[in-house]
Amino acid sequence: MSNANSNSARVRTIFRAKTSKALDKIEDPRETLDDSYDQQVKLLQQVRQAVAEVATAKKRIELQGEEMGARYQRLGSQASEALAQGREDLARAALERRAMLEGQVASLQKQYTALERQTAQLQERERRLTDQVAAFRIEKETIKATYTASEAQVRANEAVSGISNTIEDVGSSLDRARDRVAQMQARAAATDELLASGALTDLTAAPDADIERQLAALSAQAQIDRQLQELKGAGGAAGPGAAGTADGSGWLGIGQGGAARS
């Protein structure tokens, strides 16, 4: 049973740790700070509303006390006037009412004193809470700015790292492209040599083109041999095509001498 409880506790611990990590990834501290600030502002508004309500109640009691005070003075005057006119009964009635009013005024004075004390306490709490909210707002904005700057720095570093990886990928692509180009060039040169040697058949060439190509090579070689013999017979004084002018205007006759002689 103890092993089962231990395993269960370990699972709960791991679950809480993973949940905490997941929440850390999702939770934005700036939003948390803003929520806390909003709650403090609401609390401050409630305190201010309470101060206003207590002040209103205090004012009502004050007005009621002034009214009772005026009546108290009036009853005293009425008692004096009734006694002056020989109406002791009226004077006694006025004094009795005045005595009852004194009890009511005393009770009202206690309420007024309690409200004054409560108002002073609420006003002190309001002042402290106002200072606290103002200080929290400054700290909140500082933390948010710091977090935003750090977040921007992290993104910039990640972007730079991503660019470096991209450049490395581009370099690898260029190396692979160069290798492919070199391979293709070598293959093209090899196929040219094979086509020239006749080892490969040029499917796009005309029929019997290979024979014509070999005959053309033999004819060119014979032309060179004939020109070499002419140079030897002339003692090297004049070469093939020497009839051309010095300004090069005889270029049209180049390559025609052999054909004319033949």
Taking the model in full, what pTM does it have? Answer: 0.46
Provide the pLDDT for residue 29: 81
Provide the pLDDT for residue 262: 45
Structural domain span for residue 120: 10-161
Domain-embedded: residue 67: yes
Give the other-Cβ count within 10 Å of 115's Cβ: 19
DSSP secondary structure code for residue 86 in this structure: T
Cα separation, 57 vs 119, whole angstroms? 10
Backbone torsion region of residue 208, taken as left when φ is above 0, otherwise alpha when ψ lies between -120 and 50, otherwise beta: left
Provide the pLDDT for residue 131: 92
Domain-embedded: residue 156: yes
Tokens of 163: 């660019």
Cβ-contact 202, 193 below 8 angstroms: no
Domain-embedded: residue 196: no
Number of domains composing the chain: 1
Provide the pLDDT for residue 175: 77
3-state helix, strand, coil in the chain (%, to 5): 85, 0, 15
CATH, residue 157: 1.10.287
pLDDT one digit per residue (tens) for the chain, 262 residues:
555 555 565 555 555 555 555 555 556 788 888 888 899 899 889 988 988 998 899 999 989 888 988 988 998 898 889 888 888 888 899 889 988 888 888 888 899 899 899 889 988 988 999 999 899 889 888 888 888 888 888 888 777 766 555 556 656 776 777 788 888 888 877 777 776 666 656 556 566 666 777 777 778 788 888 888 888 777 655 555 554 455 555 554 555 555 444 4
Provide the pLDDT for residue 151: 81
Provide the pLDDT for residue 207: 62
Tokens of 106: 């005393």
Please give the span between the terminal C-alpha atoms of the chain, in angstroms, as a whole number: 119
Domain-embedded: residue 109: yes
Domain-embedded: residue 132: yes
DSSP 108-171: HHHHHHHHHHHHHHHHHHHHHHHHHHHHHHHHHHHHHHHHHHHHHHHHHHHHHHHHHHHHHHHH
DSSP 17-77: HHHHHHHHHH--HHHHHHHHHHHHHHHHHHHHHHHHHHHHHHHHHHHHHHHHHHHHHHHHH
Domain-embedded: residue 243: no
Domain-embedded: residue 195: no
DSSP 79-117: HHHHHHTT-HHHHHHHHHHHHHHHHHHHHHHHHHHHHHH
Q: Which residues contact 182 (CB under 8 A, 6 or more apart)?
A: none
Domain-embedded: residue 23: yes
Amino acid at 145: A
Provide the pLDDT for residue 181: 80
Total residue length of the chain: 262
